[in-house]
Amino acid sequence: MGRKYAIIGVGHVGATIAFSLVTQGLADELILIDKNQKKARAEQLDLQDATARLSSHPKIKIQDYSELVNTDILFVTAGNIHALDNASGNRWAEFEYTREIVKDIAPKIKNSGFNGVLIDTMNPCDAITQYLQKEIGLPNSRVLGTGTFLDTARMQRVVSEKFEVDPKNVSGFVYGEHGESQFVAWSTVTVNGLAINTLTSKLNLDLEELEASARSGGWDIHSGKGYTSFAIATCAIKLSLAILDDAKLMCPCSFYNAKYESYVGQPGIIGKNGVESLVTIPLLPEEEQKLAISAATIKEKFATL
């Protein structure tokens, strides 16, 4: 049986995901849905033109929610990126727009009979992902957000540049909100297998400065090109492949934490059912406190939905 993907919202992120799925031969079927009919049709035609030069030939359809009934992975990437233009680092600036989007699309997703796994990239990611889950009614495990998967990648890049290593040689996690209350759990971070805390003392590095640089990474990109797309699309596709391959991949993303009664960025095991389990890594007391504060921030905002 082929792999069937759908994308709701084919703006910068959605179109990048679609392009990657098609050019990498990852999708056998792809459904594109957007409020702008002309945009959806244009993306469909552009991708179909590309297939004449590719080794794969996926079926690409548009604007049909009924196709979601047997879709494996649904990406929800809709939003209003221009709401962030004067947001000064506040992803909640998209809140009013994405809330209305969920009100519109959630009943359509639910009525379609979709029973796959939903991956959300919308902002504010944690609260909107939880809102989608609530409105659609799928199990918590089958609705997840990219959350701090991207923020962790940004931390890996910043640290790798300081130590002149491959970013994949940096491990560890960013926890909490995909937003300003996120934090790097430095107690989990290693470089080439060595705890970063033991290395920074020797090199006189400032962890707070590194964390600030990682946190501002997305805004540096946004200020330069008006949006982010490549890294978030890569994170979303990575999660989808872990699900379809039943990879049991450990990575951070946004999913429900019963202790905090909220979606929040944290490490989990990703497999065929979505989020298979939470990975509880011992944190320092001050890190535990930061996580509690970040989760409370998300929960408070979610209550206003």
Residues at the binding site for NAD(+) are 9-14, 34
Alpha carbons 93 and 112: distance in angstroms, whole number: 30
Point out which residues pair with 250 in neighbouring strands: 269
Evaluate the omega torsion of the peptide bond into residue 58 and state whether it is cis, within 30 degrees of 0.
no
Nearest to 58 by CA among 70, 44, 69: 44
Contact by Cβ (8 Å): 119, 240 = yes
Q: CA 103, 251, 177: angle at the middle one, nearest 5?
A: 45
H/E run at residue 1 = none
Alpha carbons 261 and 263: distance in angstroms, whole number: 7
Contact by Cβ (8 Å): 76, 120 = yes
Of 57, 82, 178, 222, which one is the catalytic site residue? 178
Cα dist. 203→16, 101, 196, 197 in Å? 39, 48, 10, 10
Contact by Cβ (8 Å): 28, 54 = no
Catalytic site includes residue 222: no
The sign of the torsion formed by the CA atoms of 149, 154, 157, 160 equals negative
DSSP letter string over 36-73?
Answer: -HHHHHHHHHHHHHHGGGSS---EEEES-GGGGGG-SE
Cβ neighbours of 48 (radius 10 Å): 14
H/E run at residue 262 = strand 262-271
Positions marked catalytic: 178
